[in-house]
A and B are shown apart, each in its own frame.
Chain A
Amino acid sequence: MAASSLEIESVTHRYGNRIALSDVSIRLQPGRFNALLGPNGAGKSTLFALLTRLYRVQQGRILINGVSIDHRPRQWLAQLGVVFQQSTLDLDLTVLQNLEYHGALHGLSTRAIRERAAQELEWLGLADRLRDRVRSLNGGHRRRVEIARALLHAPSILLLDEASAGLDVASRRAINDAVRTLCRERGLTLLWATHLLEEVQPEDPVIILHRGQVLAQGSGHALCEAERDPSLGALFERLTATGEPSA
């Protein structure tokens, strides 16, 4: 199956008079780990809220495989897996109960959910925590459960908003490695929003978002070469300091 394409075309979003996103156009590389890099307040979460249809698109279009998500909202949601910045797990329920709830909301039978939950948790190293209450898990394990949940309905696009926020370095690296494996093995198109440069590799397709504007996009290598910056970090610092889009 070909990887899904996702395009954001000239999207502008306002909260009252304040502009959160200004004429944002992004094209994700299908089947790749796409990094959305931006400091706090860049507009990443607003972009996620629009992609997940939590917010209505005020201006512009979002296209999945060339079709606007407004035309087929339910089909869009069915093929989308999301891990939000803030945990959305029910802490008082067990891991399996959280997964069952999510799977059922995607129309899966209990049997199918249990099979898939076992597979995903096995892969994420949490097979033995199925019956544990989420409250008893540490931050890294909770994130893994959220990833397992996002994968339960076999989405073709995975969005992760600051999925490693609040975790220690080892857990951050483990989560980052896990989702990269997903891209390679399952051909998922992945958008990883972060403000941490160490989570982005030079060959990743990168989008730099700052104050609601896309300042640069392309592979990390190509951007550094074109801008004559020694590293992605240097490029990121320079662009976000001036706020000017790259040439």
Chain B
Amino acid sequence: MSPIRYLHAFTGVVKREFWRFIQQRSRFLSALVRPLLWLVVFAAGFRAALGVAIIPPYETYITYETYIAPGLCCMILLFNGMQSSLSMVYDREMGSMKVLLMSPVPRSWLLISKLLAIALISLLQVYAFLGIAWIAGVEPPLLGMITVLPALVLVALLLGAIGLFLSARIRQLENFAGVMNFVIFPMFFLSSALYPLWKMRESSEWLYWICQYNPFTHAVELVRFALYQQLNLQALAITLGTTTLFTLLAILSFNPERSARAVPVRG
């Protein structure tokens, strides 16, 4: 198969994700409302309780809203990544997964295309959020909006890969609540998204170490530093490594027989 055909297949997968995304306007709204609630309501309440000392990459005292903005960007990517898991399970249950499986293009390429498509859609939402956050007073350097892009792409790929990996483990749509409880919430709360880790260490040493081993922590830090035009090498290495690992796991655990069998066989 020629490279141009691979490109057509990639374009097809991306287009379908966009079409579905446009269909689901409420998904876009909820993706924005969720972090904005945190930014406007939660942060306002906690601003007084949580003082944020000067820590890299910040060079001065910052508001709590400014501190949590990168974490909220990652929250959007996290929910989108898990949404991709949900859409894979939905496609499997509805039978439309078979269209993908019947393609003569290698399945690994199709999964990578799917990952990139998820990442592209997530990025649109993150930039929409950053725009609204700017109006709300969170003003990172303008150039940071550009330097953060590669970091956001990498984190979107990581969380999309985790989502695809999980989709191979989720048997039914109903099990998605488990993903919320056992993946999204722990990943988000046990990270540096809402509070600096030194704060967490003051409260609990073992929780601090759990946060340190959470890849989401490093994803947030990568985005935080990139937004302020700095590179956190450790965060980059860990995010890159876990992205590669989960992409491989997602490809290896993708089981076409299970996808086909999700639809009852009657004939």
Contact = CB atoms under 8 A, between A and B. Distances in A.
Contacts of B11: 104, 110
Contacts of B2: 107
Contacts of A41: 266-267
Contacts of B103: 77, 105-106
Contacts of A110: 8, 11
Interface string A132-164: 000000000000000000000000000001100
B16 interface: yes
A40 B265 CA distance: 9
Contact of B104 (A87, A93, A107): A107
Interface residues of B, number: 36
Contact of B95 (A52, A84, A102, A162): A84
Contacts of B13: 104-105
Given A40-B267, A41-B267, A161-B267, A75 B104 contact: yes
A2 B210 CA distance: 65
Contact of A107 (B6, B95, B263): B6
B60 interface: no
A92 B257 contact: no
Contacts of B5: 107-108
Contacts of A52: 98, 101-102
Contact of B19 (A85, A86, A97): A97
Given A52-B102, A74-B1, A93-B20, A104 B15 contact: yes
B105 to A, nearest CB: 6
B203 interface: no
A220 interface: no
Interface string B83-102: 00000000000111011111
Contacts of A162: 267
Could you say which of A41, A97, A101, A108 has the most chain B C-beta atoms within 10 Å of its C-beta?
A: A101
Contacts of A93: 16, 19-20, 23
Contact of B110 (A40, A86, A105): A105
Interface in B98-137: 98-106, 110
Could you say which of B95, B102, B267 has the most chain A C-beta atoms within 10 Å of its C-beta?
A: B267
A190 B20 CA distance: 33
A182 to B, nearest CB: 19
B267 A105 contact: no
A84 to B, nearest CB: 6
B100 A105 contact: yes
Interface string B223-267: 000000000000000000000000000000000110110010111
Interface of A: 38, 40-46, 48-49, 52-56, 74-75, 77-78, 80, 82, 84-90, 92-93, 97, 100-110, 161-162, 193, 195
23 contacts: A40-B266, A45-B265, A46-B265, A48-B267, A52-B101, A52-B102, A54-B98, A74-B105, A78-B104, A86-B95, A88-B94, A93-B16, A97-B16, A101-B12, A101-B99, A104-B13, A104-B15, A105-B99, A106-B105, A107-B1, A109-B8, A110-B11, A162-B267
Interface of B: 1-2, 4-6, 8-9, 11-13, 15-16, 19-20, 23, 94-96, 98-106, 110, 256-257, 259-260, 263, 265-267
